[in-house]
Structure 1
């Protein structure tokens, strides 16, 4: 039987008993209908899985005893930061979910001139929270025990002006570029910039070049924005990571 993995944002330690946080309780008890003596695996983002057994279930809470701890070793040897311009509908959610499965470390949602989504401060914060929940759910499914970060929404100008590590290789997805990922040098970390459905403006492309980004092509066909990031991540992991 498949072991249930549940995220619980609290300190965890072997041979202790804890009360599940509200989200973990809802997922394990309310949704999955787990009960006393059922085994489950908890993780809190510290890089470990904690084997546990449910010891009691009440109407609004449940206790578990942690009986073991296993360090996870499934993180990619490279770090990848995705700057993704917001896309319409659930396309952004899909990109974030699959990016986690492909080993992303940081995701920054962006707004560009041709971005089809405009959010005020309140909606922007809610979107960040929603995307972070999608990240956690994807970690539960994919077995990752370190939680990728979803940063606050920012403009492409703000993103390109950020200070970056000297050894971070910065690339922009551009369907008209001459360079391919296989032509790039090995690096310890990558910063990937992916545009909106209408593409970047000429001014934004030039701004990215001035910021040290290299234009990179992934093939002869123009990809949708939600496809481009996932193809790029797959190629980076295949060439330089652990796929």
Structure 2
């Protein structure tokens, strides 16, 4: 049954028109009146809706919701990725695969060694594109939580804002606050699986930072460590940024 993202509230018996992106998706699939489909994104607690196409128009699709049902459960541990954006299509690939694995959110970062530079309207368009990639990945893989792709930020202001938040609310003493780590090639970095085993409770969120091509600059890593990001390692091999992100995410969600 085709899966269509519809972020507005859904309830049994409801008749509604799909948004522009969902309408295009249904038209590409060549669905006809009477066809069944699954809607997700607008149901509470990760549930999804069983619906039926009522009418197909040139620029509109009307559907009726028949029932709600439980969806695939969200990962037990939320993992938030903050990534120095890789160039070309690698960021698209990272967003798609991280969504399939179950990432909670993605924060794109400008770093000193970033090849990809985005500002203003161009940055906003890229974030909207990546959000659409995440939606498409959820439609394909069966996940009902679409991870937010946050606005592009520079790494140092971003980590400084985290420090200000800690000071305001005492987040570092709160066991429910995300445990922070940064992927590092520095000697003495703790193996990522060993670090994960020490993070309790098992449901505690994680925030993992990793650099782009060329990794993080020394000053950036020092700033992260000063804000309680523990240095962790995936081993002796130097992985591409998108490979490292997905390997670390898969281990964290295992």
Length-normalised TM-score, structure 2: 0.88
Instruction: State the 1:73 CA deviation.
Output: 4.1
Map of 1:132-147 to 2, 5 A cutoff? 132-147=131-146
* Partner SS state of residue 135, structure 2: helix
Mapped to 2, the partners of 1:12 and 1:68 lie a distance apart of 9
Deviations 1:63-106 (A, max 9, x none): 11111111224201111110001111010011111111111111
Please name the residue that 2:213 is paired with.
Answer: 197
Q: Is the 8 A contact 2:38 2:48 kept in 1?
A: yes
User: Hey, which of these two has a bigger chunk of helix by percent?
Assistant: 2
Q: Is the 8 A contact 1:8 1:23 kept in 2?
A: no
Please name the residue that 1:34 is paired with.
Answer: 31
Deviations 1:140-196 (A, max 9, x none): 112111221111100111221213643321111112343112222124110000101
Please name the residue that 1:19 is paired with.
Answer: 17
Map of 1:1-243 to 2, 5 A cutoff? 3-29=1-27, 31-46=28-43, 47-161=46-160, 162=162, 163=165, 165-166=171-172, 167=175, 168-177=178-187, 178-184=189-195, 185-187=198-200, 188-238=204-254
Q: Is the 8 A contact 2:8 2:42 kept in 1?
A: no
Q: Is the 8 A contact 2:72 2:142 kept in 1?
A: no
Mapped to 1, the partners of 2:86 and 2:49 lie a distance apart of 36
Q: Is the 8 A contact 1:174 1:216 kept in 2?
A: yes
Mapped to 2, the partners of 1:19 and 1:73 lie a distance apart of 25
Mapped to 1, the partners of 2:103 and 2:121 lie a distance apart of 26
Mapped to 1, the partners of 2:73 and 2:133 lie a distance apart of 19
Moved over 2 A (4+): 163-167, 175-178
Aligned residues between the structures: 235
Mapped to 1, the partners of 2:125 and 2:17 lie a distance apart of 27
Q: Is the 8 A contact 1:45 1:145 kept in 2?
A: no
Please name the residue that 1:241 is paired with.
Answer: none
Instruction: State the 1:45 CA deviation.
Output: 4.4
* Partner SS state of residue 190, structure 2: coil
Instruction: State the 1:62 CA deviation.
Output: 1.7
Gaps in structure 2 of 5+ consecutive residues: none
RMSD after superposition: 1.4
* Partner SS state of residue 149, structure 1: coil
Gaps in structure 1 of 5+ consecutive residues: 239-243
Q: Is the 8 A contact 2:39 2:49 kept in 1?
A: yes
Q: Quick one: structure 1 residues 87 and 190, their matched pair in 2 at CA, closer, same or farther if it must change by over 3 Å?
A: same
